[in-house]
Amino acid sequence: MTDTTIPVTTRKDWASDQEPRWCPGCGDYNILAAVQTLMPELGVRREQTVFVSGIGCAARFPYYMDTYGVHTIHGRAPAFATGLAVARPDLDIWVVGGDGDMLSIGGNHLIHALRRNVNLTILMFNNQIYGLTKGQYSPTSEVGKVTKSTPLGSLDEPFNPISVAIGAEATFVARTHDMDRKHMQAVLTAAHAHKGAAFVEIYQNCNVFNDGAFEAITGKANRESMLIPLVHGEPVRFGAEQEKGVMMGNDGQLRIVDVAEVGEANLLVHDQTDAGLAFQLSRLSHGPYEPTPIGVFRQVERPEYAEMVGEQLVAANSKGPGDLQALLHSGATWTVE
């Protein structure tokens, strides 16, 4: 009889014997600690857990988890993970990468993993810079960003990762940040529980090449007035006294209002099943210097990719075995039924 009991573990069991090597003060340490601490609570086995990464500072993540791990090539982590998920749907697969890795050379792979709804938990560490290669601008760097590769300032309009994920039809889209472990773990728990492609953007400080990029909204003194928590089914409110809120005007546009002036009954009620609303919320802030929504933007159910592939294989096999040799020697053309 197979033992289905999940062994009790601690954070120490999930931490490998490798010493984490990021710059002192890097936000990656906080994310690693949050994940290692969370894993014992998820009811999964280490031997059935895989972390897949690409290239960049975030891509070192698999080395520090005492699980299976794959350090792949630049931008291709979602593609590798898709193959693994289809071949081994029994595995618990996490994909880890940075904004440069996932949204530049890896952008194509990311959007297709999301639209296919592959059962992956995808964590994108967004520090708005290329850290490993020493400070070039990334696809999320703001216009005018002066870096080694843009000495006169970036001309590129940056990606909004949440908008990209929603536009790619991701069934779970969320945002958190590296300075609040409790919130980070709550979001990651929800993402992991979701069946299908779960995308989580994590604001992560690069204290060497882009220090303080998110300080205006994630700094301890600023969070209450600058972070807008999204809770499904509840009015969107924020502020130390919950004095601020989000309202949809008669023009269909979202705006930040004083609750005392408009009344709570007129506030927007968050509905994470509404893709249009989720997209509007993702555009509420023009950058990490204005009040910015965090939490789960979208969560809906849709058939999962590996499961559908498995169903097709069963249907194909039910027709009986094919003759590969006959097919290869049948001529230059053939008919597939």
pLDDT, tens digit, 9 for 90 and up, residues 116-140: 999 999 999 999 999 999 999 999 9
Cα→Cα distances 331→305, 322, 326, 336, Å: 34, 16, 9, 13
Cα angle value 322/323/326 (rounded, 5°): 145
User: Does residue 170 belong to any structural domain of this protein?
Assistant: yes
Task: Note the pLDDT of residue 260.
Answer: 97
Greater pLDDT, 314 or 206? 206
Residue 313 and residue 248 in contact, taking contact as beta carbons nearer than 8 Å = no
- The structure tokens listed for 204 are 């992560």
The mean of the pLDDT values for the chain is 95
User: Does residue 113 belong to any structural domain of this protein?
Assistant: yes
User: Does residue 163 belong to any structural domain of this protein?
Assistant: yes
Mean pLDDT over residues 182-195, rounded? 98
What are residue 11's phi and psi, to 5 degrees? Answer: -55, -40
Task: Note the pLDDT of residue 334.
Answer: 62
Query: Residue 225: pLDDT above 90?
Result: yes
Query: Residue 277: pLDDT above 80?
Result: yes
Q: Which of 111-115, 196-200, 327-331 has the lowest mean pLDDT?
A: 327-331
Task: Note the pLDDT of residue 326.
Answer: 80
Query: Residue 274: pLDDT above 90?
Result: yes
Mean pLDDT over residues 173-197, rounded? 98
Mean pLDDT over residues 317-336, rounded? 77
How many other C-beta atoms can be found within 10 angstroms of the C-beta atom of residue 233?
8
User: Does residue 58 belong to any structural domain of this protein?
Assistant: yes
Q: Using 50, 70 and 90 to split pLDDT, how confident is the model at 318?
A: confident
Range of the domain at 54: 11-213+303-309
Task: Note the pLDDT of residue 3.
Answer: 63
User: Does residue 266 belong to any structural domain of this protein?
Assistant: no
Q: Using 50, 70 and 90 to split pLDDT, how confident is the model at 218?
A: very high
Query: Residue 322: pLDDT above 80?
Result: no
Query: Residue 168: pLDDT above 90?
Result: yes
User: Does residue 116 belong to any structural domain of this protein?
Assistant: yes
Rounded distance between C-alpha atoms, residue 64 and residue 322, angstroms: 45
Task: Note the pLDDT of residue 198.
Answer: 98
Say what percent of the chain tops pLDDT 90.
91
CATH number, residue 65: 3.40.50.970
* Residue the block writes with tokens 């949440």: 162
Say what percent of the chain tops pLDDT 70.
98
Task: Note the pLDDT of residue 4.
Answer: 72
Task: Note the pLDDT of residue 2.
Answer: 58
Structurally, how many domains does the chain consist of?
1
Residue 63: HSE in the Cβ half-sphere, 13 Å Cα cutoff: 14
Which residues are CB-contacts of 222 (< 8 A; sequence separation ≥ 6)?
Answer: 215, 216
Mean pLDDT over residues 253-273, rounded? 97
User: Does residue 296 belong to any structural domain of this protein?
Assistant: no
121-126 and 49-53 beta bridge pairing: unpaired
Mean pLDDT over residues 190-216, rounded? 97
Cα→Cα distances 261→24, 163, 226, 229, 245, Å: 46, 30, 19, 20, 10
CA 274: distance to chain centroid?
A: 19
User: Does residue 139 belong to any structural domain of this protein?
Assistant: yes
Task: Note the pLDDT of residue 162.
Answer: 98
